[in-house]
A and B are shown apart, each in its own frame.
Chain A
Amino acid sequence: MAKVKVPRKSISLDMTAMCDVAFLLLTFFILTATAREEEPVVVDTPGSVSETVLPDRDVLVISIDKDGQVFLKVDSEKTRLAMLDKMAGRYQVSFSEGEKNQFRLTEMFGAPIANLKNVLHAKGRERAALQKGIPTDSLDNQLDNWVSYARLAQVETFGVQQQLRIVIKADKDTKYEVIQKVIDTLMKQNLNKFNLITNLEQMPAGFGGERRNH
């Protein structure tokens, strides 16, 4: 049999164009990604089949860790400043410009208002160790005031169109009595709709034929 000679061709491709595309995409993803701030508490949320995604803006997250410590997170810096002013007026605590600036940069906090000064002066690990949660007792319910002032501040800064959405993010081992306290606090202010943050779980086989949107 005569061998058919296939002429050998170089298989090296010009990768430059592909490289360009890849780096373009890379730049896009880096720029659109938002840096996640380190949170002072670890909250391991339970799973659910709910597929609704949490909006990025205008949310007030109440985080509850497994020991029942309550933390608060407001995404807008303006709202944060305004609500600190209101809280300071209510509890007669004055904050310096530097402290206010620190608070503006702190996404999430959880300390009684009297200790907030020390927290704002601390850095990094030390700060996380100082935060022991916002008091929710019926005698000194600071969470109640924080939530109402946050909502007020948000409406004053952004108008009624962008009201805060209340979100509860609790650890799966948190005792229900703490959650109950928080929910009661919210319901006292006539806030009856909230979202619970969960991890996505698979819908079990044989269920969920008709998907409902909440």
Chain B
Amino acid sequence: MADVDTGGKGGGKKKGAKKASTKVDMTPMVDLAFLLVTFFMLTTTLSKPNTMSLNMPEKPKPNDPPPPKVDERVTTTIVLDKNNRIFYYKGVETPEVFTTDYSAEGFRKVAVEMVAKGKSLQKDAVFIIKPTAEASYKNVVDILDEMKITDAKVYAIQQLYPQDKEIIQRYKTEHNITD
């Protein structure tokens, strides 16, 4: 194949130029092309970011009727603390504080339980999410995600009021949580 035809040798019967086949093996080229196609396909479709929608309550207008009172039996207040800690308490008047985490065995169980309880009372379970200033963004998204996973319909992000801080602080001192 790679021989160079020097001519001359082996008799003088020259038949004119040898006709080489013009067929080229396309297989490697096809391989390369498909590799690039795959690369571009994956990078274009995977680079589209996903989003989660978040609706905040509208500012109340002066003439609006007061908001309806929530049913205490189905209300859970969730306080997102630093170091991936969650405090939650059920009801509003006489809260008993519990602590949990973001694992599947942690908060999800609570949410599932409350959603089921709401269903049995023919009501939607209400979750009030109150992130502290030290909570990370991931914590908030994780909680919103849990709402979606457990199919909770009614939830809202609210700011942390002084009375919530007090409740959490009391719990912390009772249980010697210092960090």
Which residues of A are interface residues toward B (Cβ below 8 A)?
12, 14-16, 18-19, 22-23, 25-26, 29-30, 32-34, 36, 45-54, 64, 167, 169-177, 179-180, 183, 187, 190, 192-201, 203-204, 207-208, 210, 212, 214
12 contacts between A and B (CB under 8 A): A19-B26, A19-B29, A22-B34, A33-B44, A48-B145, A50-B53, A52-B52, A64-B137, A172-B141, A176-B137, A196-B144, A208-B149
User: Is there a chain A Cβ closer than 8 Å to B43's Cβ?
Assistant: yes
Would you give the shortest CB distance from A97 to chain B, in whole angstroms?
Answer: 34
Contact between chains at B49 and A22 (CB < 8 Å) = no
- Interface residues of chain A: helix, strand, loop or mixed (majority): mixed
Question: Known contacts A53-B48, A195-B51; is A29 also within 8 Å of B37 by CB?
Answer: yes
User: Is there a chain A Cβ closer than 8 Å to B132's Cβ?
Assistant: yes
Q: Which residues of A contact B49 (CB under 8 A)?
A: 45, 53-54, 169, 197-199
Contact between chains at A19 and B133 (CB < 8 Å) = no
Contact between chains at B37 and A19 (CB < 8 Å) = no
Closest residue of chain B to A64 (Cβ to Cβ) is B137
Q: Which residues of A contact B54 (CB under 8 A)?
A: 193-196
Contact between chains at B149 and A54 (CB < 8 Å) = no
Contact between chains at A53 and B51 (CB < 8 Å) = yes
Question: Known contacts A46-B138, A170-B137, A208-B149; is A30 also within 8 Å of B40 by CB?
Answer: yes
- Total number of B residues with any Cβ neighbor in A under 8 Å: 48
Q: Which residues of B contact A177 (CB under 8 A)?
A: 133-134
Would you give the shortest CB distance from B60 to chain A, in whole angstroms?
Answer: 12
Q: Which residues of A contact B50 (CB under 8 A)?
A: 48, 50-54, 197-200
Would you give the shortest CB distance from B31 to chain A, in whole angstroms?
Answer: 9
Closest residue of chain B to A50 (Cβ to Cβ) is B52
Would you give the shortest CB distance from B93 to chain A, in whole angstroms?
Answer: 27
Q: Which residues of A contact B40 (CB under 8 A)?
A: 26, 29-30, 33
Contact between chains at A193 and B33 (CB < 8 Å) = no
Q: How far is the CA of A193 from the CA of B51 in the complex (A)?
A: 12
Q: Which residues of B contact A190 (CB under 8 A)?
A: 58-59
Q: How far is the CA of A197 from the CA of B53 in the complex (A)?
A: 9
User: Is there a chain A Cβ closer than 8 Å to B68's Cβ?
Assistant: no
Question: Known contacts A46-B137, A197-B51; is A180 also within 8 Å of B159 by CB?
Answer: yes
Q: Beyond A26-B36, A196-B144: 14 further Cβ-contacts under 8 Å?
A: A15-B26, A15-B27, A30-B40, A46-B138, A48-B52, A48-B145, A49-B145, A50-B53, A52-B52, A64-B137, A169-B49, A172-B138, A197-B51, A201-B145
Would you give the shortest CB distance from B159 to chain A, in whole angstroms?
Answer: 7
Would you give the shortest CB distance from A44 to chain B, in whole angstroms?
Answer: 9
User: Is there a chain A Cβ closer than 8 Å to B4's Cβ?
Assistant: no
